[in-house]
Amino acid sequence: MKTPLLIEQHFHGAYGVDFNKAGENEIVELSFKLRELGIGGFFPTLVTDSIENIKKQVGVIKSASQKCDGILGIHLEGIFINPEKKGIHNPEHFLSLTADNYRKIEDDFIKIVTLAPELDDGLIDYLLEKNIKIQAGHCIGGDLSKVQGATHTFNAMSGISHRGKSTALSALVDDNLYTEIIADGVHVSDDALRLFFKSKPADRVILISDSLPITYSNLRETIFADSKIYYDGNSATSKDGTIAGSTKLLPEIIKILGKKNMFNPKFIENTYHYHNLELKGEIEWDDDFNIIQIL
């Protein structure tokens, strides 16, 4: 089987590199390591942080993108989310969803914004004018009519309800909505994955890792989103047991899905279509979903 190179569109870091803290050289070096894994492009994802640090790291990432291929833009996850579904994010930094607040960190290199649509106070229309991808995440609202995607479906959103609307239910039944999923065997159960893949058109599934900086490193604990995160060899959680991001990257996740007969090569192509991207290169896989070579 041959597929296009992988794209990580929701990716906080790996190999000890944290996009909320890293310098240019660290990010450039990481891009080369990712290429060796068949990851040809990625959207460095910034977790909730102070306005000052987000502005600083946007500049760092943007500068790093000029020194290497593969950095496709920034995914801003946080600041504009619902405290009721904050997950690991620090609510001290949350801002109301207004255009004025977005202008405090605005940069043309921000390509994706995860937000809570139910709290919108003019921000969504502003982002639509800028052609920024808007994704519902860390939210409880069921009206997803003005967003293009759903962030890590099932996680940090209101779950499926048989009465009324909910975020997860709306994400599943809207055939036009691109929907992220973390299929690492930790964030979503196998039955929920089966429901997801049965519900969503195959061309609207976006596989993500939501990978943490602790991934593929020697670290067993780290500070992420102002919280201490502990890694037990399988999952990474805060002291109170809240699951943070994943500790696997897309090649490993694809292998997990392949073993469960849930993988479709179209899932890799979808991220290209979602962002209207073209990347040179492809991956050759064996029957067990191991990478044979990267062309």
Six-digit token pair at 135?
Answer: 């994704």
Task: Give residue 234's pLDDT band: very low, low, confident or very high (50, 70, 90).
Answer: confident
Q: Distance (Å, rounded) from C-alpha 254 to C-alpha 42?
A: 16
In the chain, where the domains are located? 2-294
Q: Distance (Å, rounded) from C-alpha 172 to C-alpha 67?
A: 39
pLDDT over 90 (residue 161): no
Six-digit token pair at 251?
Answer: 């090649």
Six-digit token pair at 3?
Answer: 């597929």
- The CATH class of 2-294 is alpha beta
Give 52-92 pLDDT, tens digit per residue.
Answer: 999 999 999 999 999 999 999 999 998 999 999 999 999 99
- pLDDT average, residue stretch 241-258: 96
Residues 80-119: b if buried by 16+ CB within 10 A, e if exposed: bbbeebbbbbeeebbbebebebbeebbeebbbbbbbbbbb
Give 103-149 pLDDT, tens digit per residue.
Answer: 999 999 999 999 999 999 999 999 999 999 999 999 999 999 999 99
